[in-house]
Amino acid sequence: MGKIGLLFGIAVLVGSVFLLGGCSNAGSERESDLIGWIDDVFQPQGEAPGQILINSPDNKTSDKFMVTVTAKTTIRKQMQNVGFDSFNVGQKVEIWFSGPVMESYPAQVSAEKIIITEVATSVTLEDISYDVFMTEKHITKEVEINYPGSLTVSLASGPTTGFQWEEVKIGDSSVITEYEHEFVPPEATGVVGASGKDVWTFKPLGRGTSTLIFEYSQPWEGGEKDEWTLGLTVVVK
């Protein structure tokens, strides 16, 4: 009976240690440092790590964060580890910082862990300006939205230069369709070459993947074609 009692006591002690250890680990999990939505994704270039631009309107420090995603950053989606290519514009994320926040605009910080929590129902692709297109004339992006929802795209445009955006080429019209398109003139009227913007709204028709191709050209025969292009891959969940 003495040996049985001793063994029982050891078992209870070991179980208590594991229980306390589990409680300690659970309690040590700190709250996320930032919650927001992805406004833009910057792919890794060579040895340079990728970055995501976060819109966090309720944050008291800054409403914009440029978050660096290193090889040590843990990325989770639907309870699974995923890679950088899982990031898309419009996703809601929770972020744990791995170091201090650099005071700039947008604020800059590196991530220890990022959890992709949900996909936005409606996504607005922020204005891609004249300066952006002069730096990178041919841009590609991937966007995720939930069905039903909408996608709004706003691109710099200057009709007085002789260039204009052509009709958008839709890869799969059973997935998404153009709902509305308008030109918003520049604030400075009468200035040759002043940049306004073209704004499109697209509506998903069902779940799937489609492409949207935007081409900025001179419409007449012999005019310059595809001076700027934007290629979007749209994933409707």
Among 117, 124, 80, 72, residue whose Cα is nearest residue 99: 72
Query: By mean pLDDT, which of 21-35, 54-68, 77-91, 156-170 is the weakest?
Result: 21-35
Q: Are residues 85 and 131 in the same domain?
A: no
Number of domains in the chain: 2
CATH number at residue 197: 2.60.40.2020
Q: Are residues 135 and 160 in the same domain?
A: yes
Q: Are residues 107 and 173 in the same domain?
A: no
Q: Are residues 96 and 141 in the same domain?
A: no
Asked if 2 and 31 count as a contact pair (C-beta separation under 8 A), the reply is no
Give the range of the structural domain holding residue 225, as residue numbers without chain letter: 122-236
Residues 80-108, mean pLDDT to the nearest whole number: 92
Encode 17-43: b = buried (16+ Cβ within 10 Å), e = exposed: eeeeeeeeeeeeeeeebbbbbbbbbee
Residue 11 belongs to a domain:
no
Q: What is the pLDDT of residue 195?
A: 79
Q: Are residues 126 and 84 in the same domain?
A: no
pLDDT at 72 over 80: yes
Mean pLDDT for the chain overall = 85
Please report, to the nearest 10 degrees, the dihedral formed by the alpha carbons of residues 71, 75, 79, 85 taken in order.
-100
Positive or negative, the CA dihedral 33, 35, 39, 43 is positive
Domain boundary residue, one of 118, 148, 169: 118
Cβ atoms within 10 Å, residue 53: 18
Q: Are residues 135 and 217 in the same domain?
A: yes
Residue 160 belongs to a domain:
yes
Residues 108-122, mean pLDDT to the nearest whole number: 88
